[in-house]
Chain A
Amino acid sequence: MVNWANLVSQMFNGLVLGALLALISSGLTIIYGTLGVLNLAHGAMFMVGGYAGYVGYSYTESFVAAVLCGSLFVLLAGVVMERVIIRHFYSRPDEDQILVTFGLGICFVEIIRFFFGSLSRSMPSPPWASGITSLGFMFYPTYRLAVVGIVAVALLALYLVLYRTRLGMIVRAGIEDSVMVDSLGINVYRIFMIVFGIGAMAAGFAGIVNLPVAPITPDIGDAILVQTFVVIVIGGVGSFPGAVLGGLIAGEILSITSMINPGYSYAMLFIVMTIVLVARPHGLLGSQGRN
């Protein structure tokens, strides 16, 4: 006996969960696709964005200021990280890149813990998106609806940058063949820096936008990172549309599994990820180009 009201509300919630994952994952996938670096510090970027936004909010009491603060700080952090450290690793073997981003992720977490302690921090939702909305078939927190909207706008902006600007074209070309792009005389390193910054910013933006939904602690990035892996694998590593699709699918997996057996929802993500990796490693929308 299926509780239809519950099913519909779960499927809707899955979209909301998925939207946020989609945004975070698109950042990771763009970075990997362009630079070939699997950024294991990506979850930490999400977390840092949340904290930076929190600091912004505590000085200004403004949601918009918080979002700007969070995003710009992480953009800066990403750019600095690429310039100072990651850049020196392009010629080094893959495993070194993974190791250094892994180490950096831990450092970020501990630095934040040093400054902010381990108690969680939160931010109230902005007044224009507070309370609960009736959607007919269910009641839903208004702010989460707003999150879908905000994330959709961010994804759209990312899409426009990737597909409608010269920078984006270079990035997409670089995803296909960075050596070629380099030999065309385009300053690949500058592109890499910008892309890393933008990718990190996507995560940081998501971090601050999510703050009213879930208070943050320094460790929150770890779970996010693993979920992001699942998303980009399902959608296709290096593919921006893949990240969006993968995110939505992951959100649905979480929600619907929780209806059947709540304890298994996260495990189900990993099972699906393993199946995809074995059966169709380049995911639903990825191409076999980059390895």
Chain B
Amino acid sequence: MKKDIQGFAVSRRALLQTAAGLAGGAILPAGMVVPALAEDHPALGTYPAGSSGSSVFVGISVPRTGTYAAQGEDLIKGYELAIDHLNAGHELMTKISPNIKKGVLGKQVKHGIADSEAKPNTAVQNFSKFISQDKAVVITGSVSSAEAVAMNKTADREKVIYLPGISGSNDTTGKDCVRYSFRECFYAETAARAIVPVLIKNLGKNKKVAFLTPDYTYGHTVRESVENHMKEGGWTTVTNQISPLGTTDFSSYLLNVANSGADVVVNINFGRDAVLSTKQAQQFGILSKMTLTLPYNTPFLAKEVGAENMQGVIAATDYWWTMEDKYPLAKLFNEAFRAKHKSNPEWGACCGYLQLAMWADAVERAKSFYPPDVIKAYEAGAKVQSMVGEVQFRAADHQLIRPVVITRGKKPGSMKNPEDFYEVLDIVEGGPLMQAPDAFGCKLGSYT
């Protein structure tokens, strides 16, 4: 019996493929992939089980407890707004890409949220649960790169697409890149390359630098990236204070910094560590003697640390809401967000929203949920509009080519409203900031 069905399928497939090939060659616009036919693909990952009904499931795994919980909640807001807009066919989505219509390939989007506690193991657990229980077609979310890398590997093993949320390490699209993952946000290398020239321009040459580095690979790679690029301005490192994650008292490290004679303090800490180290730096008078800079900004840092402490601080970030003055999509996004949450989005929310929007776009272009087709749609390099301008994915390492936003903390007096913490100094074009695709050892795996 099986033979008959196969035989039938082969002949049907041959017929349809020829037809499609003709059609594809003739009328499809650039960037569109030849649509593959759903019935012909063998089961792969959660395909076709996850997309055979009238809805598809998006699995969201972010920290809701633990040190990164605040950033996790911000991501959730972005994701949920995106899902609402997808299901409603909101105009923001259409503006991001005209391919996106109501639903994704006509299907409603359902989702589930699981707490990863910022632990890679729990993230992997959530991943497994989403695919086995809910047949999720895409998994998204992370605040630490450790989570993201763990989920990268799981995605590659399970053949389900994964979209990191916040992940700043070079490794996510470097040595730990996988075929099944696409990163939207900026990362150590682009952050360093973007911020260092701005620093040199604003502060001058031949400065002495003190680093506050969190003790894990993300921290060390950021420091290396910054050190490599600051040599061009004759900047030198006078001390590197390594603190364990979760340090509550930075006084000993800050004292060493204060006694080091540095001009600039580069604070690589993220999350709560960034909040504490910045606050305590102010207590030790470091902020008045040295310039503080954050090569990778933490969402809500300014709110927690206070505007007086952030004034003059130069930081690199992914998105800042005042960009709505220049970018119409940012304005639309902010308005929708404010309508729902009565506050402005931080860059986690923007990242989450954009990831799901771009995924919907890729699926629409692939005309299928079959993972290799969606991946190829991503890799076709189609341009989409975003809250930070026009962006596209780089096929070689699955990293989005997008700008890095450099901000500087405003004086409390010049703030026009309670959330007006930063002025945007520069929006640096992404392409030139990125390393060569294979420079960090990225080897994408197979499609199946």
Contact = CB atoms under 8 A, between A and B. Distances in A.
Interface of A: 3, 5-6, 9-10, 13-14, 16-17, 110, 113, 117-120, 122, 132, 138-141, 143-144, 213-215, 217, 219-220, 223-224, 254-255, 258-259, 262-263, 265-266
B258 A139 contact: yes
Given A132-B285, A143-B283, A214-B279, A120 B304 contact: yes
B202 interface: no
Of A3, A16, A110, A214, most buried by chain B (CB within 10 Å of CB) is A214
Contacts of B243: 262-263
Contacts of A17: 249, 251-252
A3 B244 contact: no
A258 B253 contact: yes
Contact of B256 (A143, A254, A259): A259
A110 B66 CA distance: 10
Contacts of B241: 258, 262
B33 interface: no
Contacts of B279: 122, 214-215
Contact of A220 (B65, B248, B256, B303): B248
Contact of B280 (A3, A214, A254): A214
Given A215-B304, A217-B272, A144 B283 contact: yes
Contact of A138 (B64, B66, B70, B258): B258
Given A143-B283, A213-B283, A13 B69 contact: no
Nearest to B254: A13
A213 B285 CA distance: 13
B291 interface: no
A141 B215 contact: no
B377 interface: no
A151 B283 CA distance: 19
Given A119-B70, A132-B284, A141-B283, A213 B249 contact: yes
A50 to B, nearest CB: 11
A13 to B, nearest CB: 5
A13 B248 contact: no
Contacts of A139: 258, 284-285
Interface in B232-286: 241-244, 246-249, 251-253, 255-256, 258-259, 272, 275-276, 279-280, 283-285
B283 A13 contact: no
A105 to B, nearest CB: 14
Nearest to B214: A263
B384 to A, nearest CB: 32
A123 to B, nearest CB: 11
